[in-house]
Structures are given as structure tokens and as C-alpha cells.
Chains A and B, each alone.
Chain A
């Protein structure tokens, strides 16, 4: 296994493209055919994957119910206002 990668920066960009679902089939095949032969690419892939997965799973919050209620009541008020105002101008 290679312990250093001469085009590691390009490989890192390709890894991100693959994990973002933006790489072509050929790009994916080329990368995965070589990944297990190159330590920096293997480690880089694992790191980028863990970053993506941890961001997705650990940084999400739910919208508090009170905001949803507030938005619904503001919309309701908006509808009432329009219902009153439109006939006045038509």
C-alpha cells in the first residue's frame, strides 16, 4: 500500500465530489479501484465521510412548535385582512 499520494489534493476534491453525489460513474470506479492501495486516500475518504455523516446527524434541530403556531396565526391574520380589504377595493 502507498503511504503517500502525489495527487492527494485532487483525490480529496474527488472524494468530496463522490460523497456529494456529484461524481460520474467513471470517476467513482477509478477512485474505488485505487482507494485501498493508497493510505492517504483511504484515510481521507474515511475522514470526509465521517465529517459528512456527523454534520448530518449531530447538527440538526427541530423547529419549536411555538414558531409554527405563530406562523399559522400570522397567516390566518393575513388572510382575514385580505378578505376584508379586497372587497373594499374591488
Chain B
């Protein structure tokens, strides 16, 4: 008798499911761990989140279409897992702060380039250490952090990000723009505190 993993759209034998997992999912472990660590800001939580995501992906492997973008599928599971199980205990700015930042950056002043990061130069960013840039990224509210990671570190398209985050593509654009604006503000203050020019 053929043993099968959860049946949905198609049926994989256990051996095939394992093969699909190794071939399609394992190459994205570094990206998933990196995403999980940036979201949770805690190594143990990141490990648990990646493990939970992998087990969930394996359990629902029949709803994955081989040849489609496995990384986007995995990231969507990871993001949902994070929101459902880890977000409450994750460190970083709260939802209240996030809403405040959304409003303050998206307010009527948006037409003007904020002066507080106008003096941030490309050379300054190039001189910064990875830890400093990571710290600035880590200090962003989680929804802003998430979209910058998806776009700049993982190079997802706007359409893929919209699917992963369950938001309209217009929201992807505006949130990304606000997230980058806030990141520049954070980098300016890091640059000043560390004595960069």
C-alpha cells in the first residue's frame, strides 16, 4: 500500500514528498532563518519558527505546485506562523508605535523630502558595519522590517510581496517607501552617534 502525506490537490508518496522537500525547500533554509531571526530578534525563537515552518510546509506539501516559486510559498507560511504564534512575544516596537510611525511618515508632509535624512550620504552607508545596519533595521516596527527584508534582502517582486503579506500591491509600494524613509532616519541617528561624517 502506498503511504501518503495529507491529500489536497495531489498526492505524494512519502518518499516523493521527502524528495520535493529536499529539492525545493532546503535550498531556502538560509533565507528563512535570516527572515525568522530578523522578525523575532531572538535566536531560539528564530530556530523554532524555522522548524515549525518546515514541518508545516511538509504537512501541506500537496498544496505546493512543483516548479512554482517555493521560496515565496515558504515565506508566506513563515510570516503567517510568525503573526499567529510569535508576534506577541517578539521584541521591537509595538503596533501602537507602528501606527504612529505610519501616520507621521505618511502625513501631509510626505510631499517634502524630510530634512532629517537629507544629509545621509551613500558613502556613510558604505562605511557602516553590518551590525550597525542590522541594528537600524532591527529597530524598525516589524511590518516595516518585514517589507525591507522581503524586497532588499530577498529580492521578491512587489507582486510576490503582496501575496506573501496579503496586502494590495499599492500598500506594498507605500509601506516600502515609508519603511525606507524610517530606516534612513535611524541610520542618520546611528551615523551621528558613531561619529560618521
Interface residues of A (CB under 8 A from B): 8-9, 12-13, 16-17, 20-22, 40, 43, 46-52, 54-56, 58-64, 67-68, 70-71, 74-75, 78-79, 82-83, 86-87, 90
Which residues on B sit within 8 Å (CB–CB) of A83?
3, 14
Interface residues of B (CB under 8 A from A): 1, 3-5, 14, 18, 21, 26, 29-30, 32-34, 37-38, 47, 50-51, 54-55, 58, 110-113, 120-123, 125-126, 128-130, 133-134, 137, 148, 151-153, 155, 157-158, 173, 176-177, 180, 183-184, 187
Cβ contact of A74, chosen from B51, B120, B122, cutoff 8 A: B51
* A61–B153 touching, CB < 8 Å: no
* A51–B184 touching, CB < 8 Å: yes
Complex: chain B residue closest to A19, CB-CB:
B152
Assuming A54-B126, A71-B54, A87-B1, is B14 touching A79 (CB within 8 A)? yes
Assuming A61-B33, A82-B14, is B55 touching A55 (CB within 8 A)? no
* A67–B58 touching, CB < 8 Å: no
